Amino acid sequence: MNSSPLPIVRDVAGLRAVVRDWRRAGARVGLTPTMGALHAGHLSLVRAAKERCGKVVASLFVNPRQFGPNEDFDRYPRDEAGDAALLAGAGCDLLYAPDRTAMYPAGFATSVTVADVSAPLEGEMRPHFFSGVATVVAKLLLQTMPDAAFFGEKDYQQLLVIQQMARDLDMPIAIIGCPTLREQDGLAMSSRNAYLNAEERRIAGRLNHILHDAIKAFRNGDPLVGVESEAARHLVAAGFSKVDYVAIRDAETLAAPAAGRACRILAAAWLGKTRLIDNMAV
């Protein structure tokens, strides 16, 4: 039962009927795709969407196609009723929460793959990930047909992949990146932070500080490779069990940084069974 004041639709026909009525009334429409277990970072996307577009759809779908066989799909936190209440409070107008068979009916056979910007970093560590993301986001965009869709810079490479896809496929939808919301100690908010025990949570707060230190060293002229490996060493010394990467890259292409172009530092590291990512402008 839907006990929150937020209307919920679970199929494309229902979604399109609501969006069509909004458009007839002259509204602009924003979309914020999520996998639920919402926190203030997600809600900041809803607020940004509400500011730019009069009507906001949030989608909630834990997308099996972006999880690898040994990843956390089964234990990913799920709380639709709690999420709906939070969304309503943030000004969301509609929750679109399709189930797995509505999204991927029997016989579903299409997959969207974005080359180049998908390849390094997360693409190397999680080879299935970006085609899973691009496929589901393409579907969500085409199902909703919003004027704009809002994504967090928290998942920076994902944002670049989606922007590339929307450009390449001539989707008439603005893809808007929104800043990362952080906890008091600077830890980027994430649904996966709920997996951390107290000691891991303490260590997790070091990640953003170590990236800030790396940025300082890079700006002071320290060589790139040394800056990246030193940051990885500091993460392990702080208690991270494994570092997938710390990399300073071109902010648009994720290629090696070049003089005069904006750069980004990106990192992924493990605390026990929990994998954290973060990034910031250099």
Does 276 engage in binding with ligand AMP (CB under 6 A)? no
Q: Can you tell me the distance from the alpha carbon of 22 to that of 25, in angstroms, rounded to the nearest whole number? A: 5
Among 86, 87, 121, 181, interactor with ligand AMP by CB under 6 A = 181
Active site residue 42: yes
- Distance in Å, CB of 120 to ligand AMP, minimum: 18
Residues 123-162, interacting with ligand AMP (CB under 6 A): 151-152, 154-155
Which residues face 59 on adjacent strands? 33, 96
The continuous run of DSSP H or E covering 130 comes out as: helix 129-144
- Given a contact cutoff of 8 angstroms between Cβ atoms, the answer to whether 21 and 40 are in contact is no
- Distance in Å, CB of 264 to ligand AMP, minimum: 14
- Distance in Å, CB of 62 to ligand AMP, minimum: 9
The continuous run of DSSP H or E covering 258 comes out as: none
In the bound state with ligand AMP, the residue whose beta carbon lies nearer, of 16 and 192, is: 192
DSSP 1: -
Q: Closest by alpha carbon to 74, among 66, 84, 64, 65?
A: 64
Does 266 engage in binding with ligand AMP (CB under 6 A)? no
Q: Closest by alpha carbon to 157, among 18, 34, 250?
A: 250
Catalytic residue selected from 42, 209, 212, 234: 42
- Given a contact cutoff of 8 angstroms between Cβ atoms, the answer to whether 254 and 157 are in contact is yes
- Distance in Å, CB of 170 to ligand AMP, minimum: 22
In the bound state with ligand AMP, the residue whose beta carbon lies nearer, of 72 and 250, is: 72
In the bound state with ligand AMP, the residue whose beta carbon lies nearer, of 23 and 212, is: 212
- Given a contact cutoff of 8 angstroms between Cβ atoms, the answer to whether 230 and 217 are in contact is yes
Among 44, 59, 157, 279, interactor with ligand AMP by CB under 6 A = 44
Q: Is 51 strand, coil or helix?
A: helix
List residues near ligand AMP by CB under 6 A: 34-35, 41-42, 44-45, 151-152, 154-155, 178, 180-181, 188-191
Q: Which positions are annotated as active-site residues?
A: 42
